[in-house]
């Protein structure tokens, strides 16, 4: 007899899909992501309140940024893996457009596109956090 166990899908109350991350503030071992247009509610009434995302107790030794030379939908590519803290220091104003977000055990990943020094890149931000991920939304 086999036992089946279902892993529940992660359902966040807010999303950053199609959002433009303008800045990532580092405060000690915490990160605050600020977008151009707030947050998108994933539950009825599906609003778009002002707000930001906090990550607490970030483990910098396991958090990375991946920059890939844009090559279209498939094919070979070249890229670079950087410690997230170094990437953020070099790029204090991001302009990173989020296309997808993935949640795992103590880890949040954003994939999307960014322009750095006039070059278009596919980009992944991988934030390993032992503390909470907190959506802070202004409610009316």
Pick the closest to residue 19 from 120, 110, 91, 132 (CA basis).
110
The number of distinct structural domains making up the chain is 1
According to DSSP, residue 58 is labeled: B
Q: What's the pTM?
A: 0.90
Cβ-contact 22, 95 below 8 angstroms: yes
CA distances (Å), 9 to each of 3, 4, 39, 42, 93, in order?
19, 15, 20, 14, 32
In a domain, 1, yes or no: no
In a domain, 87, yes or no: yes
Which residue has 């600020």 as its token pair?
34
Reduce the DSSP state of residue 47 to 3 states and report it. Answer: coil
Domain residues for the domain of 84 are: 15-137
Per-residue pLDDT 10s for the chain (140 aa) are: 999 998 888 889 999 999 999 999 999 999 999 999 999 999 998 999 999 999 999 999 999 999 998 777 777 888 999 999 999 999 988 899 999 999 998 999 999 999 998 888 999 999 999 999 999 998 76
State residue 140's pLDDT score.
Answer: 60
In a domain, 117, yes or no: yes
């Amino acid at each position: 007899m086999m036992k089946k166990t279902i892993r529940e899908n992660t359902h966040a109350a807010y999303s950053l899909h199609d959002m433009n991350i303008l800045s990532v503030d580092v405060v000690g071992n915490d990160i605050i992501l600020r977008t151009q247009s707030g947050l998108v509610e994933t539950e009825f009434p599906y609003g778009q309140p002002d707000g930001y995302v906090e990550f607490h107790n970030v483990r910098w030794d396991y958090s990375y940024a991946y920059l890939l030379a844009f090559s279209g939908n498939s094919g070979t590519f070249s890229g670079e893996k950087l410690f997230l803290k170094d990437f953020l220091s070099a790029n204090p104003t991001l302009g990173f457009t989020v296309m997808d977000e993935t949640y795992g055990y103590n880890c949040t990943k954003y994939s999307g596109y960014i322009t750095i020094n006039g070059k278009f890149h596919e980009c992944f931000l991988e934030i390993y956090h032992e503390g909470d991920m907190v959506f802070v939304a202004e409610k009316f």
